[in-house]
Structure formats: C-alpha cells, structure tokens
Structure 1
Amino acid sequence: MAEQEQHVLGEGSAILTPTDHKVRPAVQVGRCIKEVPPAAASIIGKCPYYYQPLHGEYLETVEKVSVSSVWETVKAFATSWDPWKDKEVARRLLHRREQLIAPESTDSDWSRHGNFMMRHIGCGHKPPSYYVSYGYYYCSHYGAELFPNLSAKGKAWLVLARRYLQLNLEDGLRQNMRGDVVQIASQKPGNGAFSMTVRKRELELNDETFQTFAFKTHPLAYLDGGIAYLPPADLINIIRQPNLQEWGSQGTYEQAIATGTSSIKTRGRDAADAVSSGTEDLVNRVLGFLAAK
C-alpha cells in the first residue's frame, strides 16, 4: 500500500454535473518523499550520477559562459536555479516518474538530481545545489580537461576517486535513512573518518548541510583513490587545472605552483610516487585545494 501511495501525486473529488458544465475540478498536486532510494551500481563512478544535463537553462548558462567566470557562475546558478521552470523537461521526467524513483533505477534519465525532483513535487524542496555544481559540472568538465594530462597512474586515480566520492554519498544517504548520525570512514585503512549529526531523512533537504557532508567525504575519496602515490607531475597538473579565481588571484596561483615545484626539487629523489619522494607537503596542498572547492 505504501509503495502505491508514493506514486500518487494528488487527490480530488467531484460530483455529478450537467453535461454542459465544462469547468474541471481543481486538484492540488504534490508529493514529498524523504526516503532516498539507493542508486544502481551501474551508474556509480559516472558523472550523470549527479545530474543529467537535460535543462536548456543549464546548458545556456553554464556551457556558454566564459572560462574566466565559469566556476562562480556555476555555483550561483546551482544555488538559485529552479529546474521546474523548464516545462518540457519536467513533463518528460514526470512521465517516467515511477522508474526514476524506483530503487536502483537504471532509467536513462536517472540522476540524483532528477530522482530528488520526482520525490519532491510541489512541497518547496529543492535538489542540493552540490549535485549540479561540484557534482556534475566539476566531474564532467574538470575531469575531461584533466584526464588527458595525467599519467596512467593519475588516470587510474581520477577514475577511482570519482567512484569513491559517489560511494561515500550513497553511504551517507543510506545511513541518514536509518538515524540521526552519519559516520563515514575511508574505504582503505588509515585514510580518515568523520561523523555528523543530521536529522533522520533530512540530509538532502538542507543545502548547506548536504554540501558540508559532501565536502567532508572528498579527502577520504582522494586518498582512497591513491593521490598520495601519484608522481609529482600529476599533482602539479591536478592543482593547476581549475579556474584561477579559485585561488583568489593570479599571484596566489603562481605562488602555489612555485611552492609545489620547489618542494619536488628540494625534497624529491628518483622515486615513483609522492610519498616516497618526500613530497608530502605537495600532497597536502593538493588535498586542501581539492577539498576547498
């Protein structure tokens, strides 16, 4: 019965009227399902896990903005954007709603963002901005630009880190369905852990809380992916890839690169990875940089 109820979007009543009465009864449509179904294993590690770029407004705003202002634009857009304004996409998703809210859905339009929309209709809740900003945008654009410039070991790290980021999100959402405490530990021993208190079934409902939770998982995912064992050249490529305004100024950016390069030259030996070559400071800088997104 409960499963059937989640597919009902509204209820109304009517009485017998003359055949010439053409006014349709109004039915209030709305649904708020806080239960977050698990994602399908096949989508984990892929950028559309966060968001499917179906909306024209997203494409017009984000894809066409200048490189110098793209990150601030993406963050501002994701925070203020109302995805329901695109009636065509809303209709498309609503027609597939049952598939999109099903546990482990493999529907081609499924994403965490779309799943949230189909569970929260007319109740005032907005999908976490993280899904569009850091999630989809950073995953697709940053990853696409960085990947070709990495070594084989660096490419493997990028793939693994993306997967661990999403596994951590799934773990947190799953725990929040059961209680008020979310505890995430690294997939590999010694890479860290954290705990947060979040009201049961409300992790997705507060944008700031969700973003705090998501960012806390980043260092764990990067370390589990093996960032501490990357060659110095990969670490430099990682830290120089994002937009310059992330550093506050061109000078700050150049200083960070110079410091990283100096660290490699002064501490480095002919070793294959960052830890054994003594570039722990550079690893820490990269982790801090990535976690501050």
Structure 2
Amino acid sequence: MEAVGTFSWVVHGMEYFGTAEAHGFRVVGTPYVSKQATEIALRSGEADVKVDDFLGPVLLRDAGIAASGIYPYATAIGGLVVPVDSEIQSVADLAGATLAAGSLRDKSLLILRALTISEYGFDPQADGEVIAAAPPLMMQLTASGEAEAALPLWHWVARMEAAGVAREIMTVADMLGAMGLPSDLPNLVVVARDDMPDELKVAFLAALQDTIDVMLATPNDDPFWQTILDLELYSLPDASQFPQVVERWKLGTTSTWNQQTIDGLVAMVDRLVELAGPEVVGVEAVDPAAYSLDYLPR
C-alpha cells in the first residue's frame, strides 16, 4: 500500500476493529513510497493486494503481472483546481495553461485530456505544459501561481480548499458525466495477485466490507481517526482539517461490484479511446477478464 494512501487507513482499521481476525487471517500492511513501488511488490509476490486505478489490472497484465481487479474501492479520484483568485472558470479556459498533475500517466489527467480533446478541441498536454508534481509540490505551485491549474487527488482537493490555496472548478466524476459516461463507476479498485488463495481473497473482501462499514459509522471526531494521524498514515500541517478529509473519503466509498460494473468499466474505456485515442488512454481496449466477481463474500 502507498504510505499515506487511504487504503492504509482501512488496513489499520482491520486491526483496530478486529475484522481481519474475525475472518480468520492476519493482515500485514507494508507501506511503499510510490505507486510504482507497490507494482514491484505485487510482481515479486512481496504483496498480495493493492489498490489501483480502474486501468491498473489491465496495465499490470500487459506488463506480465498476473493480477485482477476483485472489488471496488472508491468512486473518487480528485478534481481540477485553480488558485483562488484565478480567472479560469472552466476546463474550456485551460488552453495553453500550465497544469500540475501527479504524473503524465495520471488517470485524472487522462480523463481531462479526453474531455478537452473531444469537447473543446485542445489537448492540455500538447497545447500547454503539464508538470509532474507530488501533492505537496502541487500545492506549492498552485499557491505561488506557477501552476495555473492542478489535478490533485480528492483528499488534497479538500486540503487545498481548507488552506485557502485553491478552489475546485470540476470533479473528475463530473468530467466523465460531461462526456456522457457514468460518473458512479469505481475509479479505484482492489487488485490481487491471481495466485493468492481463493479462500483468502474471499476472507479479505469480507473483512474489507466490514471494516469500511464500521469506519463509515465512526464519527469524524472519534479517537480512531486520531490514531491514523498518530501512526503517520496521513499527515497534515493543520490537524483540524482532517475531519474534512475523512468526510470526503466517506463520500467516495462504494460497494457496488457486479457484471454491470465490469461492463460499465469496459464501455467507459472504449468510449475514452474513441474520444481521445489509444495513445492518450494508454490501451486500445479492456479485456473484461481483468476484473473478477469470483471472490465476493457470500
């Protein structure tokens, strides 16, 4: 798991609330510094499970890593923000702008590019400048005006707004909606190695469901949330902002995982390829076998 990603909160919750033990296994959360590091851990067998974006299982398989998406994790990715005093009011104003994103492979950037190419006739990566920046640097660049817009993850949107650095002008979900695509599909999914024992996958998902249910019912001022900060599973310069971050996390959770979900993900990628081309999306199509319904707890 990424060191300060919210999946680390859930893994901690499995221990804190005893849900892993209740389902007969012990969970070991290993923090990694980046998404790429989690991919290496999954490839080597050092990790069995990770959270990745909706294209993650497809790209992992293309890279020779036998893994599948087995459950949804969240519908939220992030949003497009601009400095609070910016004249930019919508994505239509981004032509020629300097944009900060997590990486050039960032799925928020992919979806934004698909929207601007299909609806407004420009590519912010080709017609402007995209700076790859980690979230703290992204916040600094936005505050200074060096980045005229940014695509932070959802929890950094909350932090940047709470700090008075930026205002959100469009969520990634709304970008999908603007292209006529479903906005309630999981943008993040639980990915497991194919050789992880089936019964362990089922038990893990059962514990995951129970843990998230308990966390959703836990008030934002409950001591549990403070343990996340104490264990440095998330860091904030101002801890008083954390309840806003928690609330955003709660709003972005999802448990809908069925054939319609998988069909929707496949159709969404097909539409993105149609709108923006395989070069922008990174794949030509999605094999539905990259996602599985076989491990849902009965």
Structure index of larger Rg: 1
Report if TM-score (shorter chain) is over 0.5. no
Give me the TM-score of the superposition, normalised by structure 2. 0.29
- Which structure is richer in relative contact order (CA contacts within 8 A, separation 6 or more)? 2
Considering fraction of residues, name the structure with more strand: 2
Considering fraction of residues, name the structure with more helix: 1
